[in-house]
Structures are given as C-alpha cells and as structure tokens.
Chain A
Amino acid sequence: MLPSSAPAPRGLSRRALLVASAGLALAAAGCTAGSGTEQRGGPEQADRLAAQVAVQEGLVAAYAAAAAADAALGRQVAALAEQAGSQLDRLRAAAPATSASSSPAADGPPAGADVRGWLRAQVAAAASAHAGVCVDQSGARAALLGSIAAGLRGQEAALA
C-alpha cells in the first residue's frame, strides 16, 4: 500500500506497491543470495552453510520417501517437494564448494507410520536447523537461510 497522499504508479504489481510503501525497494534488490550483496563472514560461515546443503538434501530425500510410501500424499505435496528442491538449488549456489551428495540421508517413514506426520516432522527439523544457523551467518547468507527456514515453517503449517 502507498501512503494515500501518493498516487499509485501504473504498472506496479501489488507486491511492489506494498514494498514501495514501506520504503523497502532496496530489500527486493539487495537480499538475493548471489546478487552482489556483500558477503561477510569467513570460511567457518561457508562451512556451516555447506552443512545446511546436506540438511536440505535430506529433506528433498524425505519428500521422495514420503511419496514412495504414500502415492496419494506424494501427489498432494508435489508442489512443496518442488519448492524444497528449489531451495536446495539456491543453497548449493550460495555454497559453491559443495557438490551434490550421491547418497543423502533418506531414511523413510517407519512401517505403519503416519507418513504425513513423519514428513511434517522432517520439514520442521530442517526449518529449525536452517533458522539456527541463520542466526550465526551474515549478509546474504543469513537472508537466504532465514527465508528458506520461513518457507519451511510455512510448509510445516500446510502439512498440519
């Protein structure tokens, strides 16, 4: 929203209008990982970000395991699984020293388990892991991890 004294520019999206209203234009331009935002922090931060790649690989594997155990659930959560994959791609791009794991941890749900509940727990654990590391990162890394953690909290809510 814009302050009512300011005319709404034509051609702006709803999101852009709100972002502009809050003086947040820089947020859209300055917070994308790899967009040129200053990367502060040393090798230790990079190592911790690389560890989060493994966490996300495990989550992507969990979505695959859940779909294998319950095909109907797999269809329901296909979009969420795709988002988890996109998050993994961005994490890998932000931690370029990492390479795709050949065998990410992929323990599936226990036999007879509530697959949806199991998957929700995996999502929650990944969100907590990313949020925890986000606090000790800086710059674009913190922004990326925080955003992914929030996205997974949203997935957790959607799976409830």
Chain B
Amino acid sequence: MTEDGARTETDALRGVLAAEHAAVWGYGVVGAALPPERRAEAVTAENAHRDVRDRLAALLEERGADPVLPEAGYALPFPVLSPVDAATLAVVLEDGVAAAWVHALDRATGPGVRQPAVEELSAAEVRAVRWRAAAGRSPVTEAFPGL
C-alpha cells in the first residue's frame, strides 16, 4: 500500500465514521417519532450503527488517524412529526451511510477494508428497504445504493 493510498483510504473511512455518527444521532429522532410498538426496529438499527461506529473508531485509532467526533447537534433535513417522516429520515440516514461506504470501496487499498465495506453497505441497504416500505415508497429497492 502506498502512503498516498493509505491516506486516501483512511480519509474515506473517516467519512464513513462521520456518517455513522450522524446515523446514531438520527435514529434517536426516528425512534422518538415512532409509536412504542414500532421502536424496536429503530433501536436495532441504531445499535448496528453504534457497533460499526465503534469498530471504525478503533481502526482509525490503530492507524493513528485524527478521530472524527460527532457534531454537537445536527439540523434535520425536514421536520420529523409522524411515523412516515421517521421512516423517511431513516432512509436518508441509511442512504448517507451507503454513500460513505461506496466511497470507501472506491478508495480502499485492499480486501481488509473492502470486505467489511461491502457487508456494511449491504446491511444499510437491507435496512433502507424496510424503511422505504414503512415510508410508503415504491419501489422499496435501489439498483445502486450509495452510487
């Protein structure tokens, strides 16, 4: 791996970490706008993003890269006032994470990053499919998540 290649890959992973921070924060909003009987899926998704966030932070620390910290707060792209709004926000969150992982795939220098990237990209799209359905979107799938 060249030094430039490693730096580019690390920068892309920092972008993923920033997106994961946003997703963890955003799922708190998603859950709050869902009725109690539907919050479990938001909690599961939030925990999944929290897990990825922690693993990415550890990886970046191993590399001696500057940490990416969560913002103190985020501006919602639209008011989240209903379960449909919540599902729509969840789609936005997953799409943002997917874009970050695709960028990481583009910049990755080896299988050690590509393998988790394609797995997490797929996991984000599977979650997005469920949220698109909950938001009443059709089709619920994307041909090219993150591209």
Contact = CB atoms under 8 A, between A and B. Distances in A.
Interface of A: 1-6, 8, 14-15, 17-19, 21-24, 26-28, 30-33, 37, 79-80, 83-84, 86-87, 90, 127, 131, 134-140, 142-151, 153-158
Given A83-B141, A143-B147, A147-B145, A27 B77 contact: no
Nearest to A132: B118
A87 B143 CA distance: 6
Contact of B138 (A18, A31, A79, A147): A79
Instruction: Identify which of A79, A131, A147 gathers the most chain B CB atoms within 10 Å of its CB.
Output: A147
Contacts of B73: 3-5
Contact of A153 (B18, B74, B122, B140): B122
Contacts of B144: 86-87, 90, 144, 147-148, 151
Given A148-B144, A158-B140, A23 B18 contact: yes
A27 B125 contact: no
11 contacts: A1-B22, A3-B71, A4-B75, A21-B96, A24-B19, A24-B99, A24-B100, A134-B118, A150-B124, A153-B126, A158-B140
B142 A31 contact: no
Contacts of B114: 134-137, 142, 146
Given A18-B93, A24-B100, A154-B129, A31 B146 contact: yes
Interface of B: 15, 18-19, 22, 25-26, 71-78, 88, 92-93, 95-96, 98-103, 105-106, 108-109, 111, 114-115, 117-119, 121-126, 128-130, 133, 138-147
B115 A27 contact: no
Q: Taking chain A's interface residues, is the majority helix, strand, or loop, or is none over half, making it mixed? A: helix
A92 to B, nearest CB: 14
Given A31-B102, A146-B101, A150-B145, A2 B125 contact: no
Contacts of B138: 79
A79 B141 contact: yes
B147 A147 contact: yes
Contacts of A23: 15, 18
